[in-house]
Amino acid sequence: MKNVQLNNVDHSELRLDRRYSAELGHSVNQLLLVPAEFEEAQREYPILFRRDPEGAFQAVALLGLDRGENLFLSGETWNARYKPAVVRREPFFLGEADDDAAGNSLTVFFDLDDARVGDEHGEPLYLPLGGNTPLLDEALSALRAVQEGMLQAGAMFALFAELDLLQPMNLLVQLGEGLEYRIPEVFSIDNRQLSSLSGQKLERLLRSGFLPHAIFARSSLANMNRLIELKARKLADG
């Protein structure tokens, strides 16, 4: 990897090939979501919760039933109206600026060896006079959304846990002929517990701004039907 700090002088001719493919790491059955995405994501994907390696909860969009399976990926096209921010921000990430000795600020980096960036193919990142193109602005906006959303997620899950809203799920999908798919170690919103909240507990959830997120996450489970249809169609097509 050759991680370099993005700037409009050294990279004025840089282009981004906005493709989606297995070769670029998009064949995954789950992708991270941040709270601000729940409203749009719940129209497309089941939203589940799981623990990261450190034990903290995170939200994910379920994209497939098999490991390494993205049922929304067809060739180089992502067949959904909404794409998670972690995909839209690619291939950029945040890191400490090279000249920031105190380590107090973050700036944008990318991997110079990434197959999506180069001088020949794709769309430009900068305008002729040095301003950002809409493509770059969109990627940077998604990058900020992920950064800010990770901080917001901690507060949201802490409150969900305090209110006993996190319910472990035994997610099992049966497609006939003995085909079974299990999605292990996932959680969702306990609908009965959410409906029974009242008084100070309900007010806390409402004032926190996280009540809609709980509702969006719970209602998103209806998208399991769509996921099952996509899987059945894939199997039928061989």
Please list, in sequence order, all residues whose beta carbon lies within 8 angstroms of the beta carbon of residue 219, skipping any fewer than 6 positions away: 42
Report pLDDT digits (tens) over 152-201.
999 999 999 999 999 999 899 988 778 899 999 999 999 999 999 999 99
Report pLDDT digits (tens) over 48-60.
999 999 999 999 9
Q: How confident is the model at residue 102 (pLDDT cuts 50, 70, 90)?
A: very low
Above pLDDT 70, what percent of the chain?
97
Q: Give the pLDDT mean for 198-214.
A: 96
Q: Give the pLDDT mean for 109-126.
A: 88
In Å, what is the CA distance from 19 to each residue of 45, 114, 145, 183?
Answer: 20, 12, 21, 28
Is pLDDT of 123 > 50? yes
